[in-house]
A and B are shown apart, each in its own frame.
Chain A
Amino acid sequence: MKFKTFAAFVGPSVFMMILFIAAPLISVFIQSFQVTQPILQQVEVETCTPGFLTQTCTTEIKTVPILGEDGKTMTQTSWVGLQSYKNVLQMDKVWAAIGNGSWNEIMQIDFWKALRFTLSFTLLTLPLVVGVGLAIALAVNNAARAIRGPIIFISLLPFIITPVIGSLSIYWLFVGDGILTAMMERWTGTNISMFAQAWTIELLMYFYRVWHVAPFAFVIFYAGLQTVNMDTLESAVIDGASRWERLRHVIVPHLMPLIIFIALIHLMDCYRVFEEIVGFRSQAHVISLQWLTYDFMTPDDAGNRAISRASASAMLTMIGIVFLLILPLRRTWRDHKGSAH
C-alpha cells in the first residue's frame, strides 16, 4: 500500500487522536515542567457577611491576584525543571523511610501509597479476570445449547451496566448494615463493617473489578472456544490425554493470543483505576494513581488547582503504563515483523 493511500485511510482517525489526545498530552508534558502562578498582592479588605440578624464586618489583609488591563488575572509562568516531580515523588522522605526500614512511612506519601494500590490492584485482578473468564467460558460451552443464550445474556450484564451504577449497587449491598453485610453478620455472629478498614475495602474493590470485567474476558474466550480445532482435540483424546491435559496443551495455547489481548486491555484499564475509588469512597484508606491526578486537578472552593503536580503525576502514570505494556507488546512486535517480511 502506497504511503499516500495509507495516509488517506488513517488520516481522519489520526487527526482526531492528535487533536483530542496528543495535543492535551503534549501540553500536560510541558506543564509538568512549569509552574503558572497569579501575580499576587496583599491588600486590606473589608468584608461584611450576614449573620442571622445582623452583619459582621471584618477587615483583614488578604492575598489577592492583580488584574491586568484586559480585566483578567495576571499570571507568570516559570520553568521549574523537575520540581513538580519532586513534589509528587518526595524522594527525600522515601530515602529517609528506607533508612528507618519503615514501610508505614513510605505509605504515608500519597504517590507511593497510590502506586502500591494501583500495582497490586492491576496485578492481582489480572489472573482472576482471565481465570474466571475462562472458567465461565468453559462452563457455558459445556452447557446445553438451549440455555446458552440466556446464560450469555445474564453473564454479560455486569459488563454492560454503567460502571457508576454498578459500583454503587455493590456499595449499597455492603455499606452499613447493607443486606449482604447483615447476612455475614448473622453467619459469623460478629459485627462486621466492610468500609471501616483498608483490607476489606480493597477486597470489595477487587471483587467489583473482577465482577465487572470477567464477562468481557468470558465472551472473548467463548468466541475463541468456537474455533478450537475438533480434530486436534480428538487426536489428543486418542493419545490418551486427560481432560486437564487437553485443556493445558490444546485449548489454552489456542486461546493464547486472546489471553494476551485481554491482559493488554486489562492492564491498561486497571492501571487507570478510578471509578472504584469514588464509588466505594475509599480515599481514606486506599487511593489510585488516576485518583491522585484527579484530586490535584479538582479545584477547591477558592478555585486553586495543582496543575503542575497533576501533570507530573499524569506523566508518571504514563511512564508506568509503558513499562507494564512492554512485555505483552513484544509479541505484537514479533508478529508484525513476521507478517511484514
Chain B
Amino acid sequence: MFLKRIALAGAVSLMGSAAFAACSYENEVPLKSLSAGFEAWKAVTDAMGECGNFQAELDQEFRTKQPAAFEANPSLYQIGGVSNGTITPLLNAGTIRPLDDLVAKYGQNLSPNQLIRINGEIMAVAMMVNTQHLMYRSDILADLGIETPTTWDEVFAAADKIQEAGVVDYPLGATMKSGWNLAQEFVNMYPGHGGKFFNDDNTTAVNSDAGLAALATMKKAMAYTDPEVLVSDSTYVQQQFQQGKIAMANLWASRAGAMNDEAESQVVGKVAMSAAPRAVADGAPATTLWWDGIVIAKNITDEEADAAFRLAMEGLDKEMVESANDAAIWLVNGYSPTDIAKGAIETATANPAPPAYPSTTQMGLLHTALGNVLPSFLTGEQDAAATLAAIEEAYTTSAKEAGVLK
C-alpha cells in the first residue's frame, strides 16, 4: 500500500500543486536526474521531488544514455543514479565531480560507510546495498525436516528431498535468463569457488579449475529448476515464488519485500531469508556485493552542483527511509532492518565476506562475453572445457577491440 501512496505523492508533487511540507526548504534551481527505475529509486526521487523544480527520469535505458548525457556540456542531468557496475564509464570519462566540499557542507547525516572514495576523493554517495541471498519456503523445509542450507551441496540435498516429496513444481528457481542475468550467476559462483577473474596483464583467468567447478555447480542446479530457466529473470523467479511454484532460490535482496505483498503473493509469511549459500564449505558466500548511490555531474555550474547535492541529501534523509523501509537494504540513517533483510545482512557481514562486484572496464567486457557464451553450455551444445575456451576467446576479441589488450 505504501508504494501506492508514494506514487500518489510523486504525482501530486509533479503536478506542481504540491505542498512542500515534507521538504525542509524550497528548491529554486531547476534540476534533473537520471537513474534506474526500481522501487528504491522511486522512493528517493519522490522525496527529492517534494522540494520542487525537480524532474526525475527513471529509465530502463539509463545505461545507454548516462555516459553520453553526462559527457555533454552542459550535462543533460545534474544528478545521476549509479551502481558499482555503472559508475565505471563515468569515472573513466571524468564526467562526475568530487564531492568532498559538498559532503562537508550538507552531509552531516551521512555515515562514513556511505562515502565511495576513489584515491581518497569522495566520488559518490551510496544509499543502499544489494546482494543475492537464499530465499526459501520455511514451511516446506520445516515439514520435511530440512535444516536451512548453507552451502550449495546442502541446497542440492534439500532440493532432492523436496523433489521426492513433490510439494512444489520445481525445488529451485534461478535467474538464468541468457545475457546479463546468466553471466551474473557465474560471477557469483566463480569467486565462491576461489577463482579470480583476471591476470595481471588483463587477460582473463576464467579458464581454470574454479571455472570448471562453477560451471558444474550451475549445471547441477539446472536439474532442479524449471526447464525454461534460460528465459527467467528475477521478476519471473519472484513470480514463481509468489505463486508457490518453487521452494528455494538464490535471489536479489531487493526482491524479498515482494514475498509478503498481500496483493500479489500466495505465500505471505512463508518465505524466509538466509545468507547466500557457500560454494565450498569454508569459503565466502557465492555472491557479489553491490551498492547503489548518487553522483553529481562535472559539466555543470558550481551553483547547480550545490543545489543538486543539497536536494540529493534531502532525498536520502531519514523520513524517506522510514516511509520506504522495506524497499531496500538502506545504508541511510534511520533504517531498521526487518526479518526480510536478515539474509542480506548475514551475507554482507559473513566471514570471509563475499567480494564487491569489480567495477572495471575489463569486467564489463567479460560480463558480456559470459552472457553470450554460457547458454551454449547449459543447453548442452558445448562441454565445459570448450565453453571456458570460448569465453576466453570472446573476451580476448572484445578486449583487443576496446584497447585493453594489445
Check if A and B associate: yes
> Contact flags (1/0) for B78-103 with A, using CB distance below 8 Å?
00000111101101111000000000
Smallest distance from the beta carbon of A208 to chain B beta carbons, Å?
Answer: 15
- Nearest CB of B to A128, in Å: 25
- Which residues of chain A come closer than 8 Å to B67, judged between CB atoms? 299, 303
Check B365 for interface membership: any CB of A closer than 8 A.
yes
Judge whether A40 is part of the interface by a CB distance below 8 angstroms: yes
Assess the B116–A48 pair: CB atoms within 8 A: yes
B245 contacts which chain A residues (CB < 8 A)? 176
A155 sits at the interface (CB 8 A):
no
Q: Which of A62, A281, A301 contacts B231 (CB 8 A)?
A: A281
- The residues of A that contact B112 with a CB separation of less than 8 Å are 55
Whether B177 sits at the interface, judged by CB under 8 Å, is yes
**CB <8 Å contact, A299 and B89:** yes
Instruction: Confirm or deny: B361 has a beta carbon within 8 angstroms of a beta carbon on chain A.
Output: yes
List residues of B (53-94) whose CB comes within 8 Å of A's CBs. 63-64, 67, 71, 83-86, 88-89, 91-94
Q: Is the CB of A51 within 8 A of B381?
A: no
Query: Contact string, B193-208, partner A, CB cutoff 8 A, digits 1/0?
Result: 0000000101000000
Are B231 and A175 within 8 A (Cβ)? yes
A50 at the B interface (CB under 8 A): yes
Whether the pair B89, A281 counts as a contact (CB closer than 8 A) is no
Q: Given A38-B403, A52-B345, do A303 and B92 touch, yes or no (CB 8 Å)?
A: yes
Question: What residues of chain A lie closer than 8 Å to B365, measured between beta carbons?
Answer: 300, 302, 304
List the B residue with the shortest CB-CB distance to A301: B85
Is B165 located at the chain interface by the 8 A CB criterion?
Answer: no
B63 touches A301 (CB 8 A): yes
- With A51-B113, A51-B129, A281-B231 already in contact, the answer to whether A302 and B88 are too (CB < 8 A) is yes
Q: Is the CB of B398 within 8 A of A104?
A: no
* A14 interfacial by beta-carbon distance below 8 Å: no
Chain A, residue nearest B398 (CB):
A306
> Which residue of B is nearest A181, CB measured?
B228
Of B117, B348, B361, the residue contacting A302 (CB under 8 A) is B361
Nearest-Cβ distance from residue B120 to partner chain A, whole angstroms: 7
Q: Is A73 an interface residue (CB 8 A)?
A: yes
Instruction: Give the number of chain B interface residues (Cβ < 8 Å).
Output: 73
Q: Does B356 contact A (CB under 8 A)?
A: yes
With contact pairs A63-B360, A72-B93, A295-B372 given, residues A50 and B401 touching in the complex (Cβ less than 8 Å)? no
Which segment, of A191-199, A238-246, A316-324, A332-340, faces chain B? Answer: A191-199
Contact present for A49 and B401 (CB under 8 Å): no
Check B401–A306 contact: CB distance below 8 A.
yes
Q: Which of B196-252 contact A (CB under 8 A)?
A: 200, 202, 226-228, 230-231, 236, 240, 245
B84 adjacent to A49 (CB under 8 Å): yes
Which A residue sits closest to B177, measured CB to CB?
A281
Report if A57 contacts B (CB, 8 A): yes
Q: In the complex, which of the residues A196, A281, A303 contacts B88, with contact meaning CB atoms closer than 8 Å?
A: A303
| Given A40-B404, A54-B113, A196-B228; A73-B64 close (CB under 8 Å) | no
- Chain B residue with the shortest CB-CB distance to A191: B227
The verdict on A107 contacting chain B, using a C-beta distance below 8 Å, is yes
Contact in complex: A302, B231 (CB < 8 Å): no
Quick one: CB contact mask for B375-406 with A, threshold 8 Å, 1 for yes?
11011011000000010000001100111100
**Nearest CB of chain A from residue B28's CB, rounded to whole Å:** 28
Give the residues in chain A near B379, CB-CB below 8 Å: 197-198, 284-285
Complexed CA–CA distance, A72 and B226 (Å): 48
Residues of A with C-beta under 8 A to B397: 87
B89-140 residues at the A interface, CB under 8 angstroms: 89, 91-94, 112-120, 126, 129
Q: Measured between C-beta atoms, what is the minimum distance from A222 to chain B in Å?
A: 37
Given known A50-B114, A51-B113, A302-B363, contact A65–B93 (CB-CB < 8 A): yes
Q: How far is the CB of A169 from chain B (nearest CB, A)?
A: 16
- Is there contact, CB below 8 Å, between A49 and B356? yes
Bound form: Cα–Cα A198–B227 in Å: 12
Contact B94 A303 (CB under 8 A): no
B349 touches A37 (CB 8 A): no
Q: Give CA–CA (A37, B94) in the complex, Å.
A: 16
Q: Does A61 sit at the interface, judged by CB under 8 A? A: yes
Q: Counting chain A CB atoms within 10 Å of each CB, which of B67, B94, B240 scores highest?
A: B94
A304 touching B228, Cβ below 8 Å: no
The answer to whether the Cβ of A56 comes within 8 Å of any Cβ in the partner chain is yes
The reply on B42 being an interface residue by CB < 8 A is no
User: Which A residues touch B353, using CB under 8 A?
Assistant: 51, 56
CB contacts under 8 Å to B, within A253-279, are none
Q: Which of A63, A175, A280, A282 contacts B362 (CB 8 A)?
A: A63
Closest 8 interchain pairs by CB?
Answer: A302-B364, A303-B89, A37-B403, A301-B85, A284-B375, A284-B178, A196-B227, A300-B364
Q: What is A's interface to B at a CB cutoff of 8 Å?
A: 35, 37-40, 45-58, 61-65, 67, 71-73, 84, 87, 104, 107-108, 110, 175-176, 193-198, 280-285, 295, 298-304, 306, 308-309
Extra A-B contacts (8), CB below 8 Å, given A46-B117, A50-B291: A53-B349, A61-B200, A67-B94, A175-B231, A195-B230, A283-B179, A302-B85, A303-B88
A-B contact pairs, 6 of them (CB 8 A): A67-B94, A176-B240, A193-B227, A197-B379, A295-B372, A301-B88
